[in-house]
Structure 1
Amino acid sequence: MKKIFSITLALLGIFSCSAQKINNKPNVILIFIDDMGWADFSCFGNTDAQTPNIDKLASEGISFEQFYVNSPICSPSRVAISTGTYPQRWNITSYLSNRGHNKERGIANWLDPSAPMLARSLNEAGYATGHFGKWHMGGQRDVSDAPKITEYGFDESLTNFEGMGAKLLPLTIDETGKVGRIWEGAEELGKPFTWVQRSEITTGFINAAVQFIEKADKEQKPFYVNIWPDDVHSPYWPSFEEYGLAKEEGKRGLYLAVLEEMDEQFGKLFDYIQSDDNLRDNTLILICSDNGPEMGAGRAGNLKGYKTHLYEGGIRSSLVVWGASFIDDSAKGTRNKESVFSAIDIAPSLLEFTGTKAPKNSTYDGENLIKTILGKSNSSRKFPIFYSRPPDRKNYYGFKNLPDLAVREGEWKLLCDYDGSRQELYNIIKDPGEEHNLADVYTERAMTMTQKVVSWYKLMPVLE
């Protein structure tokens, strides 16, 4: 009897350990593509190029059509998704450049490390945290004294020329075989550095991320991983085999070649996650872009505007969410056309998803919308989404005298200048292309929304 009892206890121990491993906290991978248009995934309508690996995730997950980032340009957009707060709170309203240019535009040289980083919260809760890819929140050009990426809550990092720490720097090769460098002098911004063909840097980030995940899995630690490729930002340098032919098609051709090669490189990561039962059943993947496309390269479908614009083409991003055991079965393979939310909602949502406490005394501008993200609800944000344009982009891409502020609230979108003048009001559901200004028709609504966005902007700090 004692022997049977001992065997039973041993079996219970095995089952207990197995259950403990299965019930580990969920893993999260956040993929933040650079300068990609809303309509550039083939599952979002691109017929000029194919993105089969991302399309496959979309067919098993959820595609969101009304997801917004919080700036039409890189650095502030990255601050928003990292912190769950408006980037204006940290005086980062345009891309971070050299010291003189930053000062001229009234923006900080780097993100304040005291910001409520999602990575730090997860790290303190026992997560292995890694950042692999573009950073651009401090440590670029002549700003060589910015905090290292690992000071923001990451155990490991590998970046490009726009961040402090180990990095991959881009080489180029044209159709004649001539090799060049894109960012001379970036070696000063952290070691070790490795020069890699620009077309293979995404693979370098993915290889580093996979090694990091393998280590975390071996140590039975949940992981949070950023994979933020340089792709599909200009200059466009597809592989040597593709460059010559793509070049004949001009800027758009080069862009599409880079887009397809990026998707192909991501295939390795997706296959790795899906081929491991433990990882497949316990990992959530989110994929979107940091802002709209560069003019003449990516496309935003029927949405107006480009990168740097507060029109829909600059701030709306295609979002794909995949999670084999997390997404509601009824939502798998669907398109959510109703829910309106933004990048600042990601951090509080993932804190809830992982059962992680928010930092003490922290205040998020984002809302917890994890039920929407997982397909268990079609709820939208309760509060409006506010915007201010990059201060150096009043006239850009052929658009003159661009509006300074914008707000999305329910089915309505309003744009105006800092003083509330030149109102543009659109019903975004009926008019996603922002073609019919209704400010003179719905004057009371226009005035109310104007007051809200002007008041919000006045509350934001000013760099002294």
Structure 2
Amino acid sequence: MKFPASFCFLLLFAWVFFSSCQSESIAPKPNVLLIITDDQGWGDLSFHGNEFLETPQIDSLASQSIVFDRFYVSPVCAPTRASLLTGRYHPATGTTWVTHRMEVMREEEVTIAEILKPEGYRTGLFGKWHQGKQFPHDPIGQGFDEFLGFTDGHLNNYFDTKLTHNFEQVDSKGYLPDFMTQKAIGFMDQDTPFFTMIAFNTPHGPFQVPDQYFDKYKAKGLNDKDASVYGMVENIDDNIGKLMTFLTESGKLENTIVIFMTDNGPNGIRYNGGMKGIKGHLDEGGVRVPFFMRIPGQPHQVIKPWAAHIDVLPTLVDLLEIEVSPDIEFHGKSILPLVEGSREWEDRYFFTHHVNLIFDTIPGAIRNQRYLLTIQKDRKELYDLESDYLQHQNITAENPELLAEMEKEYLNWFQKITIKGTEPPAIQVGHAGITFVELPAPDAKKEGGVKFKGNMGWANDWFVGFSAESDQVYWDIETVQDSEYEISAQLSNTAPLEIILELNGKTLEASIQESHAAEIIPSPDRVPRGEVYEKNWPLVLLGKLRLEKEPMELTLRTKGGEDAGLEVKSLILKKVD
């Protein structure tokens, strides 16, 4: 049956009209840009009264944002990031500290990226990860479509350095924060909705910054470290200006939620609003940071009730109207009711835990809107934050019942939050499509006289001290699928030696007859650093081993304990089957 041409035209017109109306009625999903900086304190902004610093771009963002007067994080980097990514207290995620795999988040934890990705968002992370180096504990394994940055706690050089792009090593050009900003802009310059996380590596040490920024703050009479830090912060400010300019000029700004925050207190004693404590401390100065959230359509306001990193993901889920599985347990809650002016907000406790190398119940802290209790090995301090937020007067003697009640709450929380234990997960190998696995020195355990070159074993450190047969190191491995690997080592040595690798009864002996020297890479530090300097390490082939599907320890030692000046940066596993 044929229809008249006029009727067909009317049908076509009706379909086009209906389709256009339908598309107009469905608002595009809001984008999310999350900016977090590294070791920038509450006082490292002109918005918070710092008379030396100039941060006009961040100040402008704050003037357009919901500003939380008291926003809390954890005392150090990796714990804060774990809580931010999951909405959960970091000990429950497996992340307890910053190195020796204590920074690794369990793969079953559900991140912001894993929640937004099924909702049609492209997810990208640019900068610092610090939740695990190897898949599936890396960004790709935790929901990010694209990762460009570094997985360790810090880099050794911020100019023309080496980064990871998904699973490949790439070279960056110029000053790293500038490079990251441009790459993030490229990621956002597409039509699909995005979740972009920019994790700037600054102002964390090493203290490297372009001359124009350093010279400006030296001219103000500051010492080299503070001039470097403030120069790094002003560089961050310039890059935030570039991000906001892109969002404005691309027409995306009014459909983008923009969050700015930092990960802990300042990495040194400098202006911080008079608050007690710095990075690594439980006090206000160690964990209270800037938090600005620009929500399209929401006017600027300052909110007095406290909020924290555990609240960010629940808030985004609420804002974006996303239903999450009831199996996901958030420890924070949406702060959207506060943004919308709710007067029925109930106070609650916020808990803090910190590790000093060895995991223990303390140091810890518990605070609410009025009181703060810090619990150390040899002392307890109680403060009334409403009348004494600078923590001048310890009121434990006058309030024994309150102290006992808050301490009990903290210990009950600690017991619940560590119910899964705190032992770091093993390094997984054998995943399909993952052909390269690095086993760095800080991920291993050491025995005998082996020690770290930099003593503490921060990111990028290496092993020294192989002078007896009992001197050995080992990595905890879990093979998910039988695989054969070619094993190489980043090492240096001054004399011939025999290296022995042992793996669940299998032994691989490698004879190294030539000397190898790791050469230091020049570093433009403004201040002598406390960590090791970066080197170019020779890669020495040791042989092949078949790794079977089971937990195991991969042990490295020297035969007969030859003292050949052996230094080991990492093992590199390359799949060959």
The DSSP-based 3-state class of the residue aligned with 2:140 is helix
Q: 2:187: which partner in 1?
A: 212
Q: Which has the higher contact order (CA 8 A, sep 6+)?
A: 1
Unaligned runs of 5+ in 1: 173-179, 395-401
Structure 1 position 451 matched with structure 2 position 411: no
The answer to whether the 8 A contact 2:147-2:165 is kept is no
Letter in 2 for 1:212: F
Residue 436 of structure 1 is aligned with which of 375, 387, 393? 393
- For the structure 1 residues 162 and 247, does the alpha-carbon distance in structure 2 shift closer, same or farther, using more than 3 Å as the test? farther
Q: 1:16: which partner in 2?
A: 22
> 1:214: how far off?
1.7
TM-score, length of structure 2 as denominator length: 0.66
Matches within 5 A, 1:299-378: 299-325=271-297, 327=298, 332-336=299-303, 338-372=304-338, 374-377=339-342
Q: 2:109: which partner in 1?
A: 115
> 1:49: how far off?
1.1
Residue 409 of structure 1 is aligned with which of 368, 371, 376? 368
Q: 2:128: which partner in 1?
A: 134
CA distance in 2, matches of 1:9, 1:208: 41
> 1:6: how far off?
5.8
CA distance in 1, matches of 2:344, 2:273: 25
Residue 354 of structure 2 is aligned with which of 389, 403, 406? 389
Residue identity (%): 26
CA distance in 1, matches of 2:337, 2:246: 27
Q: 1:191: which partner in 2?
A: 168
Structure 1 position 61 matched with structure 2 position 61: no
Letter in 2 for 1:214: D
CA distance in 2, matches of 1:380, 1:360: 23
The DSSP-based 3-state class of the residue aligned with 1:231 is strand
The answer to whether the 8 A contact 1:161-1:169 is kept is no
CA distance in 2, matches of 1:126, 1:189: 20
CA distance in 2, matches of 1:289, 1:368: 19
Structure (1/2) with the larger strand percentage: 2
Letter in 2 for 1:291: N
CA distance in 2, matches of 1:433, 1:347: 29
Q: 1:85: which partner in 2?
A: 88
Moved more, 201-210 or 315-324: 201-210
Q: 2:47: which partner in 1?
A: 43
Letter in 1 for 2:259: L
The answer to whether the 8 A contact 2:136-2:142 is kept is no
CA distance in 2, matches of 1:333, 1:18: 28
Letter in 1 for 2:22: S
Letter in 2 for 1:81: L
Letter in 2 for 1:76: P
> 1:171: how far off?
4.4
Structure (1/2) with the larger helix percentage: 1
Q: 2:33: which partner in 1?
A: 29
CA distance in 2, matches of 1:375, 1:40: 29
Matches within 5 A, 1:162-311: 162=152, 170-172=157-159, 190-197=167-174, 200-215=175-190, 217=191, 221-244=192-215, 246=217, 249=222, 250-277=224-251, 279-296=252-269, 299-311=271-283
Letter in 1 for 2:284: E
CA distance in 2, matches of 1:432, 1:304: 9
The DSSP-based 3-state class of the residue aligned with 2:411 is helix
- For the structure 1 residues 289 and 171, does the alpha-carbon distance in structure 2 shift closer, same or farther, using more than 3 Å as the test? closer
The DSSP-based 3-state class of the residue aligned with 1:229 is strand
> 1:386: how far off?
0.7
Q: 1:73: which partner in 2?
A: 76
Q: 2:494: which partner in 1?
A: none
